[in-house]
């Protein structure tokens, strides 16, 4: 999978070299390219934004500069992801769907976002004919300073689903078995008693059927407690 990200703060993407993502990249499973949006700004000040038509607070990112940056990245079969708190909520299902894409482009807006004509332009027929799809995505109902951290969240969730990325692919099948909403039961490791708290007896029993039942129930309880 090829992943491009466009941002005025390319340094935000340094964590892509660490841990799981770093290894996936070293192994050639995913190919990251980070682009500095400002490189496409031609005026002396390298401005990337201007005041909004219609008035109001904040600044809006210029369509011309985004167009120059994105035109170079829009090959056939591309999913363009525009990060915005107004987008569709990111979840595990969206991560799973995007993990079968061949090319993802993350457009990281700052300020009050990117001029909406950028979304409109790349959503038009000339692009959909080439299997270029545009998604406006939010990672949650809160406002970040920009789309960089949101992109990292999405990239990590998507990349770990690619074949060969996780050391133990069984972790993925356990997760998918639990997509009924009760994702995680509580986990325990050694010692069996810590600060007077003992691990539930059943987990030490070796009875896999009973352990599975206990875990399903505990996951359900946890989900209910966290509502
Ligand atoms: N940009 C600012 N806030 C965001 C959010 N919650 N999700 C995605 N992009 C954002």
93-107, 126-140, 179-193, 211-225: segment of lowest average pLDDT: 179-193
Residue nearest to atom 5 of ligand 1 (CA): 85
114 lines ligand 1 (CB under 6 A): no
CA of 11 from ligand 1 middle (Å) equals 18
pLDDT band at 14 (very low <50, low <70, confident <90, very high): very high
Dump pLDDT digits (tens) for 153-211: 999 999 999 999 998 878 777 775 555 555 789 999 999 999 999 999 999 999 999 99
Dump pLDDT digits (tens) for 30-51: 999 999 999 999 888 899 999 9
DSSP labels, the chain: -EEEEEES-GGGGGGGGSHHHHHHHHTTS-EEEEEEGGGG--STT---EEPPTT--SS-EE-HHHHHHHHHTT--SSEEEEEEEEEEEEP-HHHHHHHTT-SEEEEEE-BTT-B-HHHHHHHTSHHHHTTTEEEEEEESSSS--SBSHHHHHHHHHHHHTTSTTSSS-THHHHHHHHTTTS--------S-SEETTEEPPGGGGS--HHHHHHHHHHHHHHHHHHT-
Percent of the chain's residues with pLDDT above 90 = 89
């Amino acid at each position: 999978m090829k992943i491009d990200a466009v941002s005025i703060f390319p340094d935000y993407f340094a964590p892509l070299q660490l841990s799981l993502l770093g290894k996936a990249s070293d192994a050639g499973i995913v190919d990251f390219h980070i682009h500095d949006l400002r490189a496409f700004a031609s005026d002396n000040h390298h401005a990337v934004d201007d005041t909004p038509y219609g008035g109001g607070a904040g600044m809006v990112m210029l369509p011309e500069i985004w167009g120059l940056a994105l035109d170079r990245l829009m090959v056939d079969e591309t999913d363009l992801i525009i990060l915005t708190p107004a987008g569709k909520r990111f979840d595990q299902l969206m991560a799973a769907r995007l993990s079968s894409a061949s090319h993802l482009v993350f457009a990281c807006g700052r300020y009050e976002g990117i001029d909406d004509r950028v979304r409109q332009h790349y959503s038009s027929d000339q692009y959909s004919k080439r299997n270029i799809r545009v998604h406006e995505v939010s990672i949650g109902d809160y406002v970040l300073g920009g789309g960089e951290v949101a992109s990292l969240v999405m990239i990590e969730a998507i990349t770990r689903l690619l074949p060969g990325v996780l050391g133990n692919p069984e972790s993925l099948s356990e997760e998918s078995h639990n997509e009924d909403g009760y994702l995680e039961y509580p986990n325990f490791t050694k010692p069996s008693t810590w600060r007077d708290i003992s691990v539930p007896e059943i987990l030490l029993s070796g009875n896999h059927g009973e352990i599975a039942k206990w875990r399903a129930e505990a996951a359900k309880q946890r989900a209910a407690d966290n509502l």
